[in-house]
Amino acid sequence: AQKITQTQPGMFVQEKEAVTLDCTYDTSDPSYGLFWYKQPSSGEMIFLIYQGSYDQQNATEGRYSLNFQKARKSANLVISASQLGDSAMYFCAMRAITGGFKTIFGAGTRLFVKA
Amino acid sequence: DAGVIQSPRHEVTEMGQEVTLRCKPISGHDYLFWYRQTMMRGLELLIYFNNNVPIDDSGMPEDRFSAKMPNASFSTLKIQPSEPRDSAVYFCASTRDLPSYEQYFGPGTRLTVT
């Protein structure tokens, strides 16, 4: 069975510092994709970053990077130079090829950025 | 592109009433998903379609829920009869036929059943 685990219900970070949000996953499928989404208090879901299971390098998108450790089945999101606007809920998600396009989401981590 | 469009944005109804949520996916997207988000259960996939055909409806909670996609640009999620425990935010999302392509979410419909 496929599963996404986010063990940090809430995280605090000081503005301008970096923060790592943890995500572990479980799948027996060799081909899969990992996604991170941001959900601010306004409620919309915003795509942040994608990592494919066969990608050799960690994905980066601006201040976001994904620390992909395949052997440990972890896909942690790193936000550098945190901003007040980064305060939101963050979801890790996975799509495995054998699951078609079914995407499963973790429970989320709420990030609070302090001024 | 206008993005995924959902209507209504807010719906308040009484228990026992029929509720219909609507979604217009992004043009050219082959897949459409319906999710439900609650504090207790998080984000749950209810059903998804590929080229207007339902592929996986294993997340549909019970027979009171039904979803249709009569054409590539429109889908509905219906609850009949509605119950207070159906109160949640319902998201529609769409994506292209590429494994690496992210899902684009609509703004959601906040449903309150009293």
CB contact under 8 A, A100 and B95: no
B101 — pLDDT class (breaks 50, 70, 90): confident
Q: Over the stretch A31-80, which tens digit does the pLDDT of each residue have?
A: 899 999 999 999 999 999 999 999 989 999 999 999 999 999 999 999 99
pLDDT digits (tens, 9 = 90+) for B53-90: 999 999 998 899 999 999 999 999 999 999 999 999 99
Chain A residue closest to B108 (CA)? A44
DSSP chain A: --EEE---SEEEEETTS-EEE--EEE-S-SSEEEEEEEE-TT---EEEEEEETT-SS--EETTEEEEEETTTTEEEEEE-S--GGG-EEEEEEEEEGGGTT-EEE---EEEEEE-
* B50, B102, B107: residue with CB nearest A47: B102
CA of B37, closest CA in chain A: separation in Å? 10
Confidence of residue A2 (pLDDT cuts 50, 70, 90): confident
Model confidence at B7: pLDDT above 90: yes
pLDDT of A1 over the 90 cut:
no
